[in-house]
A and B are shown apart, each in its own frame.
Chain A
C-alpha cells in the first residue's frame, strides 16, 4: 500500500440554492484518498457525505475547489469528457442495485465495457464472476436474483474495467445482514487482492468497520479523518461527531 493519493479534493465548496435559502452542502472540504485503500465516508443526514462522493465522482460539480482523479483535474473536463472519465476510470455501486432488468447478470457486469465498445478480458471476467460467486447465475436476469446476488453483480460491474477508484453509495443500505456482510467482504477482497481503491459512503458503523480509513463529515466539514478501527471505535467516533 502506497501513500500516493489517487483522488484528491482541495477546499471543496458546494452551495445549493441562492440568497437566504442557500445551503452549503460542502464547506471547505480537503481530503485525499490513497491508491489501494478502502475508505469510508460517514456522517449524519445532511452532513454532505453524498454530495462529497458525487463531486469526487464527477456527477456533480463543486461551486469552488478542485478535484483530481488519477492526475486529472475534473474542472477542466466538459460533460462528454466527464462521461468518458466515469466510463474508463471510475466504478459505481448504488444503494438500489441499478441493474438493467433486460440484461443477464453477465451482460450487466460487462456493461461499462460494452458501452465503451470493448471486449472483456475473459480471464479477468471469469475470475471476477468466480469471486462474486455468480458462476451459476451468469445468464439469469436481475429479476431472478436475490437482493444480495444483485448487489454482487453490481460490485463485479464496478470492478470489471479495473477502474482507478470504485465509489460505493450506501451499498448495503438495502440488504439484510448476511447479504451486507458478503458485499462488504467482496469490497475488502477487491482492495486486498486486486489492489483496488474503494471509497464508500455509508451510515452503518459495522460497514465502516471494513474500511481502512474513516472520514466523518459534519455540516459540510471534515470532522474526523483517520483509522477506521472496529465497529465499536466507529460508533465512538460517530458519537463524538454527532
Chain B
C-alpha cells in the first residue's frame, strides 16, 4: 500500500503541486508570524538588558496608571542623594530617557516612519552601554552624539548640526560622536545622547530623573541591594534588579504591542490556512473522483475500505509533511517579508538575529499536518464507499447522498450560531479581545455556512455573471458558463476559498471608507476652529511653550488648548480612562458642543473641582450631572470632581471626561498640551494666518503641524492608510492561495474533459478559442467567489459598525473601490487560467480523441 501511495504521488505530482504550495504558504505565514514577533521580542529584550550594563539595581517611576506613551512622570533628583547614602551602594547615577523629535539642519525628521525618537543623558563610564564608533560622548550643552543607525540612514557626520524638539522650541546641537549598543538594533528609532543638564532641559525635566542606575559594593547581591533600597525609597518609584527591569520592559512591550501584533498576524496566517484547506479538500475530492476505477479495482483485488482510507490519507500526509517542512523554512523568508512590509508602512522594528523557537516548529508542523489531513478526510471517506463494481462501470462517484439530509441542518446551525456569536460579540458588552474573538468566530462560522450553501448559488450566479460574457464572446463564453456549473460543488468550494479573502478585503475596505467619511463628518460637524495645531504624529503632546506662541501670531484671534492624560476613574473597570484638561472659557468657540445636561454657560464657568462627561460615557457608566467622580492620576493623586454637564462632541476629539487645564496639572501632574485650536481675527485670510503659524512651527517647533479643517481631515485619513496597506498585503496572500485553488480545479477538470476538448479541437475550435473558454470559466468562478465575498464583507461591515454609530461612525460604501475589487478579481481569474489553458493547449488532438 505504501508503494501505491508513493507511486500515485509521483504520477500526479504536477497536479498535487498546487496543494503542496498551498500548505507551504499557510505554514510559512504562521511560522513567519511567530519568527517575526519572537525576533522583535528578543531584540527588545537584548536592547533593554544591554542598556543596563553595569547596573545592579534600577529605580524607575511607578506607573499608577499605565500610560500610552512610554513616559511615566519622572521623579525628583533628590532621591539620588538618598540612594547614594544607602549602605552597600558603591555608585549611583541619574539618567534621563525621553521621547522627543529629532530633526536635521533643515528641521526635517530624522527618525524613520512611526518609530519613536529619544534623547538620553550621558552616564558615568561604568554604567554606559554605548560604544562610540566615531568621535566621543558630548561634554557640554552644545554637543550631542547620535546612534549609528540614524547616522547611516541620514548621512549625518561629525560636526553636523541636529535639532531636538522636546518640551520646548527646537534646540540645536553639534554632532560630536556616533554610538551604538553592541549587538543590538534600534529598528527605525533614532536616539540622541546629551549631557545630563541638556537632556533635562530639552525634556522639560529640570531637577528630575527618569531612571537611577545603581551599582552595589562587592559582595552585595543585586537582590540584597534591591531590598535595602526599597526600604529607603518612596512607594512612587519602582526598585528592581537590572534583569527584573529588562524583563518587565520586554513584558510590557509584549502586552501592549507585540501580543496584539502576533495575534493579528496569526489570524491572517489562519485565514490563509483555511483557504488552503479549501484547496486541499477540493483537489482531493476531484482526484478521488477521477480515480474511482482504480479504487474499484483495488477493492476487487481484495483491498479493505480501511486500506483505501489509508491510501488517500497517506497521500495527504505525505503532502502535508513536504509542504509543512518547506513552510517552516519559508517561515524565515516570511518573517523577512513581514519585516519589509512593516518597514514599508513606516514601522521599522528592532531586529537583531532571527529567533526560531522550538514552539514555532511545533505550531507550524501541527497546523500544516492537521489542516491537510482533516481537509482530505471527507474525500478519503468518500473513496471508501467505492464498490468493486466501479472498476467495471464508468460510474460517477456516489455524490454522498447521505450527506444530503444532514447538510442543510448543519448549514443552518452554522449560520445561526455564527450570527449569534457575531451579535453577542457586538452587543453583548464584552470588550477588546473577547469581543473580537466572538465576532471573528461568528464571522468564520457564517463564512463556512455560506460556502456549504454555495453549490446552490453557483448556477444562478454563473447565469448572471456568464450572460454578458456569452453575449460578447459567443460559444467560448457559453461553454465556459456551462462548464463552470457542471459540478456546482466543485466550483462552489473553489469560489468559496476566494470568497473568504474577498470578504475580508471588502470588510476592511468598507470599514476604512467608513472611518474616512466619519472623520470628515465629525470634523465638519464638530470643529469650529479655523486652525488646528497638534503633534505631527497626531497624538503626542506639543512643546509647552507652543500654545502661547501660536496665540501671539498675527491674525490669530483666540486659542484654546487641551491636554490628555490617562487616569483611573471610579466606576470604570478599564485600566485607564482619558481625561482632558481644557480651557473652559474658550473651548466652546473651537468645538461645537451640545449639552444634554448642563449648558454652555456651565462649561464656561467650570471650576477646577468640576467635570463634564461625554454623553456615551455617561450613558454607559450611569453618570448624571450632580454626581461625584473620583479619579486617580498617574502621579498617584486622588481627586474628586462634581459633574456639571453631559456633552456631545461631534468632532470626537476631546476625551470622555473633561476638567480644567489647572486641574489636569494639579490632580494629574501633567501640564502638557496635545492640541491647540485657534480662530482667526475677523476679516483675516485664514490661509495667510495658517502660513504664518506654519513658518513659526517649521522654525521653532518641527514636531508640530498646523492644519485647517480640510487639512486635518486629510491628515487623519492618511493615518489609516498604513494599517490598510498592511491588511491588504496580508490578505493578498490568502487570495493568491485561492487563485492556486482555481488553477488547480481547472487543471483537474480539464484533465477530466480531455476527450471533449479533443473533439472540439477536431471539429475546428481554435487554440485561441479554447484558451478563451478556459479563461472565462476561471473568470466566472472567480467572480462567483468575489460577488459572494463582497456581499458578506459589506454585511459584516454594516453589522460591526452598528455599535460604533453612537460614537459618530458613519458607514459609507466605497462603490469605486468595490468595482475595482471586482475588476481585479476578474483579472485574477484570467491569471489563474494561464497555466491550465497552456496545459490544455498542449493537448494533442489526436490523443485526446482516441483517449478512452
Contacts of B756 in A (CB 8 A): 98, 100-101
Q: Does B765 contact A (CB under 8 A)?
A: yes
- Which of A110-118, A129-137, A210-218 forms part of the interface with chain B? A110-118
Q: What is the 8 Å Cβ interface bit string for chain A, positions 87-126, against chain B (1 contact, 0 not)?
A: 1101110101010111100000001101111000000000
A49 located at the interface, meaning its Cβ lies under 8 Å from any Cβ of chain B in the complex: no
* Chain A positions within 8 Å of B769 at CB level: 115
A91: chain B residues within 8 A (beta carbon): 763
Q: Is B115 an interface residue (CB 8 A)?
A: no
Q: Which of A83, A88, A157 contacts B761 (CB 8 A)?
A: A83
When the two chains form the complex, which single residue of B478, B766, B850, B852 contacts A83, counting CB atoms closer than 8 Å? B766
B765 — which chain A residues lie within 8 A by C-beta?
83, 87, 115
CA–CA, A112 and B766, complex, Å: 11
Within 8 Å of chain B (Cβ to Cβ): is A77?
no
Do A54 and B759 contact each other (CB < 8 Å), given the known contacts A79-B767, A83-B766, A115-B475? Answer: no
Chain B CB within 8 A of A144 CB: no
Which of chain B's residues 531-570 have a Cβ closer than 8 Å to chain A? none
- A84-B766 CB under 8 A given contacts A50-B850, A96-B852: yes
Select A80's contact among B767, B846, B850, beta carbons within 8 Å: B767
Chain B interface residue count, Cβ-Cβ cutoff 8 angstroms: 24
Interface residues of B in 752-785 (CB under 8 A from A): 755-756, 759-767, 769
* Contact flag A115-B845 (CB < 8 Å), given A100-B479, A102-B482, A102-B486: no
State which residues 154-194 of B face A: CB under 8 Å: none
A sample of 6 cross-chain residue pairs with beta-carbon separation below 8 angstroms, ordered by A number, consists of A83-B761, A83-B767, A86-B762, A94-B762, A103-B478, A117-B475
A236 within 8 Å of B by Cβ? no
Q: Which residues from chain B contact A115 at a C-beta distance below 8 Å?
A: 475, 760, 763-766, 769
Q: Tell me the minimal C-beta distance from B528 to chain A in angstroms.
A: 66
Nearest 5 interchain pairs by C-beta: A87-B764, A102-B482, A98-B759, A114-B475, A86-B764
A59: interface (CB < 8 Å)? yes
Smallest Cβ distance from B535 to chain A, in angstroms? 64
**Nearest CB in chain B to that of A117: its residue:** B474
Judged by a CB distance under 8 angstroms, whether A70 is at the interface is no
Contacts of A79 in B (CB 8 A): 767
* B845 proximity list for chain A (CB < 8 A): 59
When distances are taken between beta carbons in the complex, the residues of chain A under 8 Å from B148 are none
Give the A-binding residues of B (Cβ under 8 A). Answer: 474-475, 478-479, 482-483, 486, 755-756, 759-767, 769, 845-846, 849-850, 852
Q: How far is the CA of A86 from the CA of B845 in the complex (A)?
A: 12
Residues of A within 8 A of B483 (CB): 102
Asked whether any CB of chain B lies closer than 8 Å to the CB of A73, the reply is no
Q: How far is the CA of A219 from the CA of B56 in the complex (A)?
A: 99
A164 nearest CB across to chain B (Å): 13
A103 touches B759 (CB 8 A): no
Q: Given that A59-B845, A60-B846, A96-B755 are known contacts, is A116 also in contact with B764, CB under 8 Å in the complex?
A: yes
Across-interface contacts of A50 in B (CB, < 8 A): 850
Q: How far is the CA of A132 from the CA of B486 in the complex (A)?
A: 28
Residues of B within 8 A of A101 (CB): 486, 756
**Cβ < 8 Å to B, chain A residues 23-41:** none
Q: In the complex the two chains form, what is the Cα distance from A46 to B475 in whole Å?
A: 37
A114 interface neighbour in B474, B755, B849, Cβ under 8 Å: B474
Once the chains are docked, how many angstroms separate the CA of A62 from the CA of B191?
A: 79
Residue pair B763, A92 in contact (C-beta under 8 Å): yes
**Looking across the interface, which residue of chain A has its beta carbon closest to that of B485?**
A102
Q: What 1/0 flags go to A138-175 for Cβ under 8 Å of B?
A: 00000000000000000001000000000001000000
A191 to chain B, nearest CB (A): 20
Residues of B within 8 A of A117 (CB): 474-475
Cβ–Cβ < 8 Å partners of B759 in chain A: 92, 94, 98, 100
A231 to chain B, nearest CB (A): 27
Given contacts A90-B763, A117-B474, A169-B849, 6 further A-B contacts (CB under 8 A): A87-B764, A88-B764, A102-B482, A102-B483, A103-B482, A115-B763
Most buried by B among A50, A79, A116: A116
Q: A116: shortest Cβ distance to chain B, in Å?
A: 7
Query: Which residues of the other chain, A, contact B761 by a CB distance below 8 angstroms?
Result: 83
- Residue among B479, B762, B767 having the largest count of chain A Cβ atoms under 10 Å: B762
Contact (Cβ within 8 A) A59 B762: yes
A88-B763 Cα distance, complex, nearest whole Å: 9
Interface 1/0s, chain A 44-79, versus B by CB < 8 A? 000000100010010110000000000000000001
Which of A59, A86, A91, A92 lies at the interface centre, i.e. has the most chain B CB atoms within 10 A of its CB?
A59
The answer for the CA separation of A57 and B762 in the assembled complex, in Å, is 9
CB distance from A162 to the nearest CB of B (A): 14
> Measured between alpha carbons, how far is A116 from B476 in the docked complex, in Å?
11
List residues of chain B with CB within 8 A of the CB of A94: 759, 762, 849
**Nearest CB in chain B: distance from A172 CB, A:** 17
Residues of A within 8 A of B482 (CB): 100, 102-103
Q: Within the complex, what minimum Cβ distance (angstroms) separates B753 from chain A? A: 9
**Which chain B residue shows the least CB distance to A84?**
B764
Shortest Cβ gap from A140 to chain B (Å): 15
Q: Which residues on the B side are within 8 Å of A60 (C-beta)?
A: 846
Residues of A within 8 A of B755 (CB): 96, 98
Provide the residues of chain B in CB contact with A111, threshold 8 Å. 475, 760, 763
Instruction: Looking at the assembled complex, report how far the CB atom of B393 sits from the nearest CB atom of chain A, in whole angstroms.
Output: 15
A59–B155 CA distance with the chains assembled, in angstroms: 69
A26 to B: closest C-beta gap in Å: 14
Are A112 and B763 in contact, CB atoms less than 8 angstroms apart?
yes
**In the complex, A54 Cα to B762 Cα: how many Å?**
10
Q: Return chain B residues, CB-CB under 8 Å to A90.
A: 763-764
- Give every chain B residue within 8 A of A98 (Cβ-Cβ): 755-756, 759, 849
- The verdict on A112 contacting B764 (CB below 8 Å), with A96-B852, A98-B759, A117-B474 known, is yes
User: Could you tell me the distance between the alpha carbons of A119 and B765 in the complex, rounded to whole angstroms?
Assistant: 16
Task: Give min CB distance, A66 to chain B, whole Å.
Answer: 19
- Complex interface: chain B residues within 8 A of A114 (CB): 474-475, 478
What are the residues of chain B within 8 A of A96 when measuring CB–CB?
A: 755, 852
A91 to B759, CA, bound (A): 11
Cα–Cα, bound, A91→B760 (Å): 12
Whether A59 pairs with B849 at a CB distance below 8 angstroms is yes
CB distance from B566 to the nearest CB of A (A): 65
Q: Is the CB of B474 within 8 A of A86?
A: no
A80 near B766: Cβ-Cβ < 8 Å:
yes
Bound complex: CA of A84 vs CA of B766, how far in Å? 7
